[in-house]
C-alpha cells in the first residue's frame, strides 16, 4: 500500500495542509493509479527482476491498482502462479513507482506503508467452489438427460 502526501511547501507557498492543495493530491491519486501501470514504470520493474521479454509483456495484465475513495492510498495487487514472485513484483512496482513520481512528476511524495506479503494459499482457483459447482451442474445435466430418455 502506498500513501501520497504533499511536499513540505505547496506550489502556492502556503502550508501544505491547505484544503485545496489536499484536494489536488486526492485527485492526483487517480492519475497515479494509471501511472503505476504505465510502460515507464513496468519497464523499470522488469529489469531488476530479470524478466524475459515474454514475461515483461504480460506484466501489465498481472497488476491491478486500486484506490479507496476520498483517500490518498493506492493498493497494488499482483496475480501470479508463484505467490512469492507476486509479492516481489508488487514490492518492486511500489518502489519503482515511488521513484518515478519523485523524479518525473515533482508533485509530492509517495511513501510505501505496507510491503506485499506472499499469501499462504492461492486466491484462485477455488477448488471447493469449482467442485461443488461441477457436481451440481452434473446432477442437473444428468437429471435432465434421464427425463428425456
Q: Which residues pair with 111 in a beta bridge?
A: 3
> 132-147: per-residue pLDDT in tens?
999 999 999 999 888 8
61 lies in the same domain as 104: yes
99 lies in the same domain as 49: yes
Q: Mean per-residue pLDDT for 7-11?
A: 51
CA 100 to chain centre: 16
114 lies in the same domain as 85: yes
CA 104 to chain centre: 20
Domain encompassing residue 103: 2-118
88 lies in the same domain as 129: no
Q: How confident is the model at residue 108 (pLDDT cuts 50, 70, 90)?
A: low
> 46-59: per-residue pLDDT in tens?
888 888 877 878 88
43 lies in the same domain as 93: yes
142 lies in the same domain as 78: no
Give the global pTM: 0.69
The DSSP call for residue 120 is: S
67 lies in the same domain as 126: no
Residues 91-128 as b/e (b if ≥16 CB within 10 A, e otherwise) read bbbbbbbbebbeeeeebbebeeeeebeeeeeeeeeeee
Number of domains in the chain: 2
Over 54-97, what HEC string results?
HHHHCHHHHEEEEECCCCCEEEEEECCCCHHHHHHHHHHHHHHH
Amino acid at each position: 500500500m502506498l500513501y501520497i502526501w504533499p511536499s513540505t511547501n505547496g506550489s502556492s507557498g502556503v502550508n501544505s495542509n491547505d484544503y485545496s492543495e489536499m484536494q489536488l493530491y486526492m485527485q492526483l491519486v487517480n492519475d497515479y493509479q494509471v501511472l503505476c501501470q504505465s510502460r515507464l514504470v513496468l519497464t523499470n520493474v522488469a529489469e531488476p527482476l530479470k524478466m524475459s521479454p515474454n514475461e515483461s509483456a504480460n506484466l501489465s495484465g498481472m497488476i491491478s491498482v486500486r484506490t479507496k475513495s476520498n483517500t490518498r492510498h493506492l493498493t497494488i495487487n499482483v496475480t501470479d502462479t508463484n505467490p512469492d514472485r507476486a509479492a516481489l513484483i508488487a514490492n518492486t512496482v511500489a518502489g519503482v513507482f515511488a521513484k518515478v513520481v519523485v523524479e518525473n512528476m515533482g508533485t509530492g511524495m509517495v511513501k510505501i506503508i505496507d510491503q506485499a506479503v506472499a499469501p499462504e494459499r492461492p486466491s484462485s482457483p477455488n477448488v471447493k467452489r469449482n467442485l461443488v459447482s461441477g457436481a451440481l451442474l452434473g446432477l442437473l445435466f444428468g437429471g435432465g438427460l434421464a427425463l428425456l430418455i
